[in-house]
Homo-oligomer: A and B are copies of this chain.
Amino acid sequence: MTNLGDLEIFARVVSSGSMSAAGRALGFSPAVISKRIKRLEDRLGTRLLQRTTRQISLTEAGQGFYDRVLGILTGIEEAEAYASGRSSQAQGVLRISAPTSFGRMHIAPHLTGFMKDHLDLKLHIVLTDDFTDIVAEGFDMAVRIGELTDSSLVARKLAPVRRLLCASPDYVARNGAPNEIGDLARHFCLPAHNNDNWKLEGPEGSLVWHPEGPLVTNSSEIVRAAVIAGAGIALRSTWDIGPELRSGQLVQVLPQWEGSKNLTLSAVYPSRQFLPAKVRLFIDYLAALYGPVPYWEQ
């Protein structure tokens, strides 16, 4: 039967992109890495890595094998954590990927509350707006906003996402508030950072509006600052501008229209038979935190 170390080494070689780098990471000499990759390939009777002396790439068999090996390794990790930690205590390292803005505003502030209940757990949080492949990147879970489709992942809904049109009071004072959807054409519209069209739902059904405005950016934070500064009308999520709405820094316009409803805030994780306790506990924590009605909606 395969030596487990070989699988670990193989996975590390793939993720780091080089045998030498894997050797450094794992504390082995390059010679060992080379020998064990070779042994693994010999036993499998297949070439897993296509290598020139300068570069390494996965063969098709290697890619499929790698996908599987990742699952196996985390499975072993989970089994060991279960047996060691027992009684479903969280321990080890919990690796999370989350959207930048949401992570900063609604995850980061609550982390200490979770950590003080789980002293044996280390958190490793990466904020990015790319939809990274969480299993290939080695994340235990991700927080996502959107419509979810990837079938190899399991999603648990954390909260609905409401998006509404808003502007600053002084913008409204200067330009007036739109009364019907067509009025938007006469306003400054601030597209979202991903530059999407606005999918709106209203009393007359749904429509797609293509926002045109003076500002295009890839940063959600800049759009946010711009609309608060009075630059125009934006379609923002309630989790993003809830406090500003309450404080009066922003007001809702065209309240009969809202962003398309099939967006959700979700926790996603690889589908496995045994969910690590650390992942389950953290998702439970977030779900309890955001509740049936999130605090930013109240």
Contact = CB atoms under 8 A, between A and B. Distances in A.
A2 interface: yes
Interface in A236-284: 270-274
A63 to B, nearest CB: 10
Contacts of A31: none
Interface string A36-50: 000000011110100
A79 interface: yes
Nearest to A5: B1
Contact of A64 (B1, B8, B82): B82
Interface stretch (A68-76, A108-116, A126-134, A195-203): A68-76
A3 B2 contact: no
A180 interface: no
Contacts of A3: 3-4
A83 interface: yes
A44 B84 contact: yes
A65 B79 contact: yes
Contact of A84 (B45, B62, B270): B45
A152 interface: yes
A61 interface: yes
Contacts of A174: none
A46 B8 contact: no
The secondary-structure label for the interface of chain A is helix
A147 interface: no
A86 interface: yes
Contact of A75 (B8, B44, B61, B75): B75
Interface in A154-182: none
A80 interface: yes
A273 B71 contact: yes
Contacts of A78: 68
Contacts of A5: 1
A273 B71 CA distance: 8
B76 A46 contact: no
A80 B4 contact: no
A62 B79 CA distance: 10
A274 B71 CA distance: 9
Contact of A68 (B44, B46, B69, B82): B82
A270 B75 CA distance: 15
Interface string A69-99: 1011001101110111010000000000000
A82 B152 CA distance: 18
Contacts of A69: 79
Contacts of A2: 4, 76, 80
Nearest to A77: B1
Interface of A: 1-5, 7-8, 43-46, 48, 61-62, 64-65, 67-69, 71-72, 75-76, 78-80, 82-84, 86, 152, 270-274
